[in-house]
């Protein structure tokens, strides 16, 4: 590693150590302190900074560098919240104190997603030091509420119009590979009603669990038939019954039952159509009117960034220049905050250091070498998209 690389390594470790030392777990989801840290650094670097919130205690940071010359709006994003510590005894070190060992930085959120946040903060400061973009607009956004899958972070920034980029680059544990396609997600709740009775005489009642089993059985039979045909590359359309609640005592015929369902959708499938499909199957079972309900809970469409888009092409070139290898495209299992921009016709790219296997685990870590590499690659990407910096 050359002298410049050693300096970058030292700076990244310092920033990440600061971030790990600022607790930001969900619950409760408070992000005031960590966002204040990011906002202060960005203001000192010369960015126009706004701390935006829709709910008290749930802060988000939007920092901008904009020039008059026309060009793309390129936004970087990382979420500031983490999961909780969990069982403290499972941690070999203090989860809120960075431990540098064996080429790794350990600590709560080191990989998901404070490692990417540290890289992006370094990147923002380095770009400003080099004179800023030659054209277009550069944004750095650090958001809360990601671990809650809630609306107070990136969803709020999009809905309020505060962040509307042409290219959105989200920090993620991809080991510096690319995720440019993501499935949509639709959550729905089924409820059934019945009539309570003594279990010794079940015929006197109306079993809400059995009614639910008929509904979910019909759904499973339908999905077993149609979903195997819904495939795009490595992505598959899936369904999962995630929660099933019913009854309150073994010796009572249950009068109520509730189930929550998770549907993952190919980028070509739409949330509204997926819910309509589910409801159509349930309605076709023939249960008495008023004995069941179908409720839409939440959902966002999937996205697919063309591999020949400007942002993806810039990453491919930067990865090749920095590592000598071709860019590798990964298949996403989960969903990212990019889903809120799925219908905007923009390039959405997930990229960053660390392995997804480290996220949400005790003794979470991120490789320092990958952080340095991610910084180099993304600096090159910015140069390509917004012009040469001095």
For the chain, what are the domain ranges? 3-182+302-386, 184-300
Q: Give the single-character DSSP code of 166.
A: S
The mean predicted confidence, pLDDT, of the chain is 96
Q: What is the pLDDT of residue 1?
A: 66
Residue 209: strand pairing partners: none
* 296 vs 261: CA distance, rounded Å: 10
Asked if domains 3-182+302-386 and 184-300 share a fold, the reply is: no
Query: From the DSSP assignment, how many helices (H) and strands (E) are in the chain?
Result: 8, 17
Q: What is the pLDDT of residue 144?
A: 98
Checking DSSP bridges between strand 167-171 and strand 347-351, what pairing results, if any?
A: parallel
Closest CA to 341 of 170, 191, 206: 170
Q: What is the pLDDT of residue 184?
A: 96
Query: Are the C-beta atoms of 247 and 254 separated by less than 8 Å?
Result: yes
Quick one: which H or E segment has residue 129?
helix 115-129
Q: Edge-to-edge, what's the strand order for the sheet holding 137-143?
A: 48-55, 58-66, 137-143, 73-79, 167-171, 347-351
* 231 vs 380: CA distance, rounded Å: 34
Q: Give the single-character DSSP code of 288.
A: P
Cis, peptide link before residue 267, omega less than 30° from 0: no
* 211 vs 191: CA distance, rounded Å: 10
* 81 vs 272: CA distance, rounded Å: 30
Q: Give the single-character DSSP code of 253.
A: -
Q: Which residue has the tokens 């042409």?
A: 166
221 phi and psi, to 5 degrees? Answer: -60, -40
**For residues 320-349, average pLDDT:** 94
Q: Which residue has the tokens 């958001």?
A: 143
Q: What is the pLDDT of residue 366?
A: 97
pLDDT at residue 334 is higher than 90: no
191 phi and psi, to 5 degrees? Answer: -130, 145
pLDDT band at 307 (very low <50, low <70, confident <90, very high): low
**Per-residue pLDDT tens digits for 270-291:** 999 999 999 999 999 999 999 9
pLDDT at residue 301 is higher than 80: yes
pTM: 0.91
**Per-residue pLDDT tens digits for 39-55:** 999 999 999 999 999 99
Residues 6+ apart with CB under 8 A from 212: 190, 192, 244, 246, 257, 258, 259, 292
Q: Give the single-character DSSP code of 342.
A: T
**For residues 347-358, average pLDDT:** 94
Q: Dihedral angle at the C-alpha atoms of 197, 201, 203, 209, nearest 10 degrees?
A: 50
3-182+302-386 belongs to CATH 3.40.630.10: yes
pLDDT at residue 84 is higher than 90: yes
* 372 vs 251: CA distance, rounded Å: 62
pLDDT at residue 2 is higher than 90: no
Closest CA to 374 of 180, 177, 176: 176
* 349 vs 74: CA distance, rounded Å: 11
pLDDT at residue 122 is higher than 80: yes
**For residues 71-76, average pLDDT:** 97
pLDDT at residue 333 is higher than 90: no
**For residues 307-321, average pLDDT:** 93
Asked whether the CA dihedral 13, 15, 17, 19 is positive or negative, the reply is negative
> How many alpha carbons fall within 13 Å on the CB side of residue 103?
6
Q: Give the single-character DSSP code of 28.
A: T
Residue 16 to residues 29, 34, 136, 183, 201: CA-CA distances in angstroms? Answer: 19, 12, 29, 30, 64
Q: Which fold has domain 184-300?
A: Alpha-Beta Plaits (3.30.70)
3-class DSSP string for 331-379: CCCCCCHHHHHCCCCCEEEEECCCEHHHCCCCCCEEEHHHHHHHHHHHH
* 352 vs 354: CA distance, rounded Å: 7
Closest CA to 373 of 388, 353, 351, 357: 353
């Amino acid at each position: 590693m050359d002298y410049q690389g050693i300096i970058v390594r030292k700076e990244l470790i310092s920033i990440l150590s600061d971030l790990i030392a600022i607790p930001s777990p969900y619950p409760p989801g408070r992000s005031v302190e960590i966002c204040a840290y990011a906002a202060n650094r960005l203001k000192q670097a010369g960015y126009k900074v706004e701390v935006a919130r829709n709910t008290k205690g749930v802060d988000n940071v939007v920092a901008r560098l904009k020039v008059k010359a026309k060009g793309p709006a390129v936004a970087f994003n990382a979420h500031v919240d983490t999961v909780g510590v969990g069982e403290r005894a499972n941690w070999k070190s203090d989860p809120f104190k960075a431990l540098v060992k064996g080429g790794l930085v350990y600590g709560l959120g080191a990989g998901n997603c404070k490692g990417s946040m540290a890289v992006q903060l370094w990147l923002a400061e380095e770009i400003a030091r080099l004179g800023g973009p030659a054209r277009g607009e550069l944004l750095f956004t650090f958001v809360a509420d990601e671990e809650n899958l809630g609306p107070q972070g990136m969803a709020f920034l999009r809905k309020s119009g505060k962040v509307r980029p042409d290219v959105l680059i989200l920090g993620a544990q991809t080991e510096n590979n690319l995720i440019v396609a993501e499935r949509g997600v639709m959550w729905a709740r089924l409820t059934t009603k019945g009539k309570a009775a003594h279990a010794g005489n079940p015929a006197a009642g109306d079993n809400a669990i059995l009614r639910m089993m008929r509904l979910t059985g019909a759904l499973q039979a339908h999905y077993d038939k149609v979903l195997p045909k819904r495939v795009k590359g490595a992505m598959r359309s899936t369904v999962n019954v995630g929660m099933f609640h019913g009854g309150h005592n073994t010796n009572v015929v249950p009068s109520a039952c509730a189930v929550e369902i998770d549907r993952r959708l190919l980028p070509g499938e739409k949330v509204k159509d997926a819910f309509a499909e589910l409801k159509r199957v349930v309605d076709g079972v023939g249960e008495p009117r008023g004995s069941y309900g179908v409720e839409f809970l939440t959902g966002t469409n999937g996205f697919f960034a063309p591999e020949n888009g400007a942002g993806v092409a810039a990453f491919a070139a930067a990865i090749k220049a920095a590592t000598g290898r071709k860019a590798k495209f990964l298949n996403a299992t989960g969903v990212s905050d990019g889903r809120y921009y799925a219908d905007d016709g923009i390039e959405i790219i997930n990229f960053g250091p660390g392995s997804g296997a480290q996220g949400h685990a005790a003794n979470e870590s991120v490789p320092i070498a990958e952080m340095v590499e991610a910084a180099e690659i993304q600096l090159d990407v910015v140069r390509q998209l917004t012009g040469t910096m001095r």
